[in-house]
């Protein structure tokens, strides 16, 4: 039986992925901030839950030690934990900037750093780092979220070169807005006295809400693709872009170049 470790498995795509892998015969190590969030996994004998705060080096170290002491092999680590922050640069708060960097980027870095020695010792392993279409293109009000996702893309590609000799594969997965708890929990700038900012936030909220409603079947596609990637690790670094929105934006950005793409976005948002 293969084993997968999933961060941020208490809800949304993380929880659904954990259940899907378990139903497919994998043993799942589901990690989350608080074990009180593990109630939905109680009826699964092949799901074990561990407390993990990916923003804490000490928490990662403690969790890893508990896991390797109990389980002899881990085949795949899926770095799923993440948060959103939709804010104007001028109005951004240090606390929220630090939080998104610590979870979205440094969380991935530190979890990978912790489990590379485990993979090297067993002479195989796989990291699947979930980013976003935000890691490939840049859109309004995404200064902080997009930055962290671009960082994970670069980090993953660089790390993949280092791990080639150890039979450790690295992949990233990007997708657009999908119905889940994620969008509901995105932290946003408060309404201000700056009319332009308020209007732009309202427009972006509307665009994202509309796209999320259309992507009703995307969540299942993501989960199934994560399983396929885990079942068939690629020796070389690979990016997987899922969903019409993500593929469309990625292809258009590459073909149009920055200036024309930016013009397209401005017309779509500021019309």
Supply the CATH number for residue 160's domain: 3.40.50.720
- pLDDT tens digits, one per residue of 144-202: 999 999 999 999 999 999 999 999 999 999 988 765 566 667 888 788 889 888 988 88
Q: For the chain, which ranges sit under pLDDT 50? A: none
pLDDT at 238: 96
pLDDT at 250: 67
- Domain with 141 in it: 3-270
Report how far residue 11's alpha carbon sits from residue 4's, in angstroms, rounded to the nearest whole number: 17
* The model's pTM: 0.90
Report how far residue 110's alpha carbon sits from residue 119's, in angstroms, rounded to the nearest whole number: 15
Report how far residue 219's alpha carbon sits from residue 265's, in angstroms, rounded to the nearest whole number: 25
Domain count across the chain: 1
Q: At what angle do helices 244-270 and 195-214 cross, to 10 degrees?
A: 150
Residue found under tokens 């208490």 = 10
Cα–Cα distances in angstroms (integers) from residue 38 to residues 16, 50, 68, 110, 161, in the given order: 12, 9, 20, 23, 36
Q: At what angle do helices 106-122 and 57-70 cross, to 10 degrees?
A: 30
């Amino acid at each position: 039986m293969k084993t997968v470790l999933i961060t941020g498995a208490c809800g949304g795509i993380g929880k659904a992925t954990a259940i899907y892998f378990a139903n497919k015969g994998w043993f799942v190590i589901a990690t989350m901030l608080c074990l009180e969030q593990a109630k939905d996994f109680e009826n699964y004998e092949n799901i074990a839950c561990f407390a993990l705060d990916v923003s804490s080096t000490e928490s990662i170290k403690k969790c890893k030690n508990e896991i390797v002491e109990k389980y002899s092999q881990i085949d795949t680590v899926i770095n799923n934990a993440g948060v959103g922050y939709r804010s104007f640069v001028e109005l951004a708060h240090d606390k929220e900037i630090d939080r998104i960097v610590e979870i979205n980027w440094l969380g991935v870095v530190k979890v990978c750093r912790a489990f590379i020695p485990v993979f090297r010792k067993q002479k195989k392993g796989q990291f699947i780092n979930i980013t976003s279409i935000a890691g490939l293109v840049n859109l309004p009000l995404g200064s902080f979220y997009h930055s962290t996702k671009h960082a994970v893309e670069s980090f993953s590609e660089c790390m993949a070169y280092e791990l080639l000799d150890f039979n450790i594969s690295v992949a990233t997965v990007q997708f657009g807005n999908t119905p889940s708890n994620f969008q509901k929990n995105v932290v946003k700038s408060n309404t201000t006295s700056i009319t332009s900012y308020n209007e732009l936030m309202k427009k972006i909220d509307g665009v994202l809400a509309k796209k999320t409603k259309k992507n009703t079947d995307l969540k299942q596609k993501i989960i199934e693709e994560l399983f396929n990637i885990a079942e068939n690790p690629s020796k070389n670094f690979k990016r997987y872009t899922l969903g019409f929105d993500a593929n469309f934006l990625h292809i258009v950005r590459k073909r149009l170049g920055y200036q024309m793409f930016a013009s397209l976005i401005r017309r779509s948002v500021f019309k």
